[in-house]
Amino acid sequence: MKKAAYLLPLLLVLALIVGFSSYMRTPGPGPSPDEGYKVGDKAMDFKLKNVDGKTVSLSSNAGAKGYIVVFTCNTCPYAQAYESRIMALHQKYASQGYPVVAINPNDPQIAPGDSFEKMQERATEKKYAFPYLFDETQSVARTFGATRTPHVYVLQRSGQDFKVAYIGAIDNNTEDGTAATERYVESAMTQLMAGKPVQTTSTKAIGCTIKWKKKA
Amino acid sequence: MKHLRVLVLLLLCLGAAPAWAQKVSVVKLPALQRVLARPTDTTYVINFWATWCKPCIEELPHFEKVRARYANQKVRVLLVSLDFPSKLEQKVKPFVKQQRLASTVWLLNETDANAYIDKVDPKWSGALPFTLLINNRRKLRTSFEQPLTEAELTQALRPFVRP
């Protein structure tokens, strides 16, 4: 009975908190929609470990005109569905100064198939020609505002900086890329390289939620 | 008297019938939009999931419990699968049967995610699982772009239901 006496106000306070948070997206473990980059923002440089053991940062490739940054992973079936399209983007645009940089933000505690060792295995097996970086602290994904895999950020160099030119999906058909009627990243790249403004600067797509570390 | 006996028999049959839904309705976006816009005092618990999404599958039992717990209140659980329509027979139906899901299960037959995600909820980026709690009459709406524990779901439902 005594226990219930102090439980009741506690429950009431909880109910009030929940009540006030109605009509909002409840903050989860990942970045809230207000966090992360918007198109036009300057992307902060980062230092992440590549599958070859070396550290990669945006500034380490002086010849890059920009980057196609893709948050992806080993285990998400949607990331797998897009894997060959990510490889094709690198093949097409690296020689034109826009290489792919793939980043795995998943916590291997939750997704064991996304450990650094498993990343190395996949990169070797699939012969990735681009860096595949491990965002171990998840701070890069958080800074970018990535929520899912795959999640693309096209960056364009502006002096020493890199600015976000496009955020979103690769195309509008996950199951069958050949049936896609919009190829968002390719369109953005064509427009960027022609010095024109990107028409569709952000899109949404279904993907796997990033496996955020459980709060201690 | 005879009619009564038939009625009793029918009721018994209904009671004994498997309590899980084995039907998966394939729908287009407008069907979902109608539910989202329904002005009644019914709370809709809408969970977007897929058979390939591990965290989704882990939280499905919580939604099943919600359905059972609030069966006598105006609470409806709707599980919207975002599996490819081509996986309906091979993946989704066997999964629903095997898990004995009793909640209503739909498969959203839309390819162009960029065209429908904002129409479901502008705050949704597209990551799965995604859960919406809506009661339009009482102007209550909460969404979660993350997997939920049973405790989190119960707490989120508090403003929507009678204890």
CA distance A39 to A163: 8
Q: In the beta sheet, which residues pair with residue A212?
A: none
pLDDT of residue B17: 43
Q: Which chain A residues have a beta carbon less than 8 Å from that of B107?
A: none
- Which band of pLDDT confidence, cut at 50, 70 and 90, is reported for residue A22? very low
A178 has a chain B CB within 8 A of its CB: no
A12 has a chain B CB within 8 A of its CB: no
Residue B112 lies inside a defined structural domain of this protein: yes
Nearest Cα to Cα of residue B45 among B25, B59, B26, B27: B59
What's at A107, amino acid-wise?
D
pLDDT of residue A215: 76
- Which band of pLDDT confidence, cut at 50, 70 and 90, is reported for residue A10? low
- Which band of pLDDT confidence, cut at 50, 70 and 90, is reported for residue B5? low
- Which band of pLDDT confidence, cut at 50, 70 and 90, is reported for residue A30? confident
B54, B125, B159: residue with CB nearest A22: B159
- Answer yes or no: do B127 and A212 touch at CB < 8 A: no
Over range B140-161, report the average pLDDT: 96
pLDDT at A18 over 70: no
**Which is more confident, A25 or B72?**
B72
Residue B35 lies inside a defined structural domain of this protein: yes
In percent, the amount of chain B with pLDDT more than 70 equals 87
The CATH number of residue B101's host domain is: 3.40.30.10
The conformation of residue B112, written as its DSSP 8-state character, comes to -
Instruction: Give long-range contacts, CB 8 A cutoff, 24+ apart: B95-101.
Output: B95/B51, B96/B20, B96/B21, B96/B22, B96/B24, B97/B20, B97/B22, B99/B60, B100/B18, B100/B19, B100/B20, B101/B20, B101/B21, B101/B60, B101/B64
Domain definitions of chain A by residue range: 39-207
pLDDT of residue B13: 46
pLDDT of residue B18: 45
Residue A2: which residues within 8 A CB-CB, separation 6 or more? none
Over range A87-96, report the average pLDDT: 98
Q: Which chain B residues have a beta carbon less than 8 Å from that of A33?
A: 123, 125
Helix (H, G, I), strand (E, B) or coil at B39: coil
Look at the block and give the residue holding tokens 């990510």: A86
**Which is more confident, B17 or A142?**
A142
CA distances from A181 to A93, A142, A159, A168 (A): 20, 31, 34, 16
A209 has a chain B CB within 8 A of its CB: yes
Residue B160 lies inside a defined structural domain of this protein: no
Residue B4 lies inside a defined structural domain of this protein: no
- The total number of structural domains that make up chain B: 1
CA distances from A155 to A41, A79, A82, A193, B121 (A): 10, 20, 19, 12, 27
- Answer yes or no: do A175 and B111 touch at CB < 8 A: yes
Domain A39-207 falls under CATH 3.40.30.10: yes
- Answer yes or no: do B145 and A28 touch at CB < 8 A: yes
Residue B141 distance to chain A (closest CA, Å): 4
Residue B133 belongs to domain spanning = 25-139
Q: Give B115-142 pLDDT, tens digit per residue.
A: 999 999 999 999 999 999 999 999 999 9
What ipTM score was computed for the predicted complex, to two decimals? Answer: 0.83
Q: Give B21-57 pLDDT, tens digit per residue.
A: 579 999 999 999 999 999 999 999 999 999 999 999 9
Question: Secondary structure of chain B: what % helix, strand, coil (to 5)?
Answer: 45, 20, 35
Q: Which chain B residues have a beta carbon less than 8 Å from that of A141?
A: none
Total-model pTM: 0.86
Cβ atoms of A206 and A170 within 8 Å: the answer is no
Look at the block and give the residue holding tokens 């899901």: B101
B98 has a chain A CB within 8 A of its CB: no
Lowest mean pLDDT among A30-39, A57-66, A100-109, B101-110: A30-39
Instruction: Provide the token pair at B15.
Output: 């009671």
